[in-house]
Amino acid sequence: MAIPPTEPPSQAAILAQKAAAQAERDADARIALARKRVQEAEAEATLRLDQIRDGYNRDSEMERARGEVAIENARNKGYEVVRNSQQAYGRELSRVENQAKSQLQEREGYYRQALFDTEKRGRAGLNELELKQAQLTQFEDDQGRGMIEASRKEQQERLQALHDQNESIYAKESKGAVAERNRMLENQLKTTEQAAERHENQYRQTVTESQKLLENLQNRAARQLAEYKEDSTRRLTAYASRNEDPFYQLLDLGARMHETDDSFVLTARIPEHERSHLSVSVRGNEILLQGHRRNDDSQELGPGQTRRTSSFQAYSESFPLRLPVEARAIQKRFEGETLIVEIPKKTTYSRDIAKAPVPAERARAERPRFPDNLPITETGQDPRKQEDPAGNASQSGSNGSPNRPLA
């Protein structure tokens, strides 16, 4: 079958083909121009995005530096508050100690003066009693001697009168009468001697009773003076011993703490018999050393009489820790009577100070707002709607308009 000859294209078709080719070239040129504009816009957007990111990083670094400065200032302020508190405590402790010493000196002076006045009054009373007793003894002695002397004179006068009478009668009477008179004279002499002896015994008994009375008065005055002395001494000793008795004083264990590169080291003097009642623990940002001691004692004083004493005393001492530590890794050992406690520091910890006295305000940086004409990324997400580190999706531009494609 023969192929029919093709008809030559008409003039209109040729013009149409030329117009189509020209339109295709114009379209390609516009497409190339559009692609060029898109590339230029992408380059400009990338540049602006880099600039915004650089600015955000600079702002973040500045805010972080401000936050660190604020934290350091708060830490220094807390240290200063602690130092001021320690200085105030030291001054108050010195004031209290000086006041206690002054009061103790005043009390000692008062009790010394009271003891001196008591002794003075006791001596004066004793001297007065001795003087009165001496006067009474002298009076009774003089009275007894006078009575004895009067009795002797009376007896001598009576004897002389009897002797004279007997002499006169003797010359007149017989020998029998003389013998009778001699017997009567002897009886009279015996009676006189017995009377004199009774007076002498009465005088001696009076002197002995006076001496016993004087000794009793002296012993009573000496006992009263000793009781005054003992009472005053006991009161003074009780007050003084209260300040010297370790039971009423702060117990000093000689505890000291120093710091090494990787730990805090606490040392204290603990006797061997008190180690079982000692504990060391970490509470918050301080280390606590605490313990107690007890003593029970008894003494048999006699049948059914027993003296017992029971004493109990608790003590504690704390030290601040300026850095976080590993509380469960405390190591404790003894070297003689010296307790050594090592508390390791934490190798990693947050920059915030645990339980700082004055909490520092956290530095915050506002998230930058990206322009609305940024292109969508290859993942299909708008970079303005990506989640921030806090987990909150960021909002769109300030006007809330959606993404617009580039022209």
15-30 pLDDT, tens digit per residue, is: 888 888 888 898 999 9
Least confident span in 5-9, 15-19, 298-302, 378-382: 378-382
Least confident span in 40-49, 58-67, 124-133, 344-353: 344-353
Q: What is the pLDDT of residue 340?
A: 93
Question: Residue 34 is encoded by which pair of tokens?
Answer: 């559009």
Partner residues linked to 387 by β-bridges: 393
The whole-angstrom separation of Cα 216 and Cα 232 is: 24
Enter the pTM of the model.
0.30
The whole-angstrom separation of Cα 39 and Cα 403 is: 18
Structural domain boundaries in the chain: 20-250, 253-293+320-368
Question: Residue 97 is encoded by which pair of tokens?
Answer: 């100690």
Does the pLDDT at position 407 exceed 60?
A: no
Q: What is the pLDDT of residue 245?
A: 63
Cβ count near 317 (within 10 Å): 17
The alpha-helical segments, DSSP class H, found in 173-271 are: 175-244
Cβ count near 349 (within 10 Å): 12
Q: What is the pLDDT of residue 341?
A: 93
Does the pLDDT at position 380 exceed 50?
A: no
Return the higher-pLDDT residue of 247 and 68.
Answer: 68
Q: What is the pLDDT of residue 320?
A: 92
Does the pLDDT at position 344 exceed 90?
A: yes
Q: Please, are residues 339 and 268 in contact by the beta-carbon 8 Å criterion?
A: yes
Does the pLDDT at position 267 exceed 60?
A: yes
> Average pLDDT of the chain?
77
Does the pLDDT at position 396 exceed 80?
A: no
Q: How far is CA 365 from CA 108, 387, 390, 397, in A?
A: 70, 16, 12, 18
**Percent of the chain predicted with pLDDT > 70:** 76
Task: Band the pLDDT of 401: cuts 50, 70, 90.
Answer: very low
- Note the pLDDT tens digit of each residue in 122-165: 788 888 888 888 888 788 778 878 888 887 888 788 888 877 87
Question: Residue 282 is encoded by which pair of tokens?
Answer: 């970490």
Number of H helices, E strands in the chain: 2, 7
Least confident span in 198-202, 327-331, 397-401: 397-401
DSSP category for residue 9? P
Question: Residue 42 is encoded by which pair of tokens?
Answer: 């992408």
Does the pLDDT at position 56 exceed 90?
A: no
Return the higher-pLDDT residue of 360 and 134.
Answer: 134
Q: What is the pLDDT of residue 5?
A: 55
Q: Please, are residues 236 and 108 in contact by the beta-carbon 8 Å criterion?
A: yes
Q: How far is CA 119 from CA 113, 134, 258, in A?
A: 10, 22, 56
Q: In degrees, to the nearest 5, what angle opens at C-alpha 75 toward C-alphas 70 and 77?
A: 95
DSSP secondary structure of 332-393: EEEETTEEEEEEEBPSS--SSPTT-SSPPPPP--PPPPPPTTPPPPTTS--GGGSBPTTSPB
Return the higher-pLDDT residue of 236 and 34.
Answer: 34
Q: How far is CA 201 from CA 142, 170, 204, 208, in A?
A: 15, 36, 5, 10
Fold of domain 253-293+320-368? Immunoglobulin-like (2.60.40)
Task: Strand 305-320: give its sheet, edge to edge.
Answer: 278-283, 286-302, 305-320
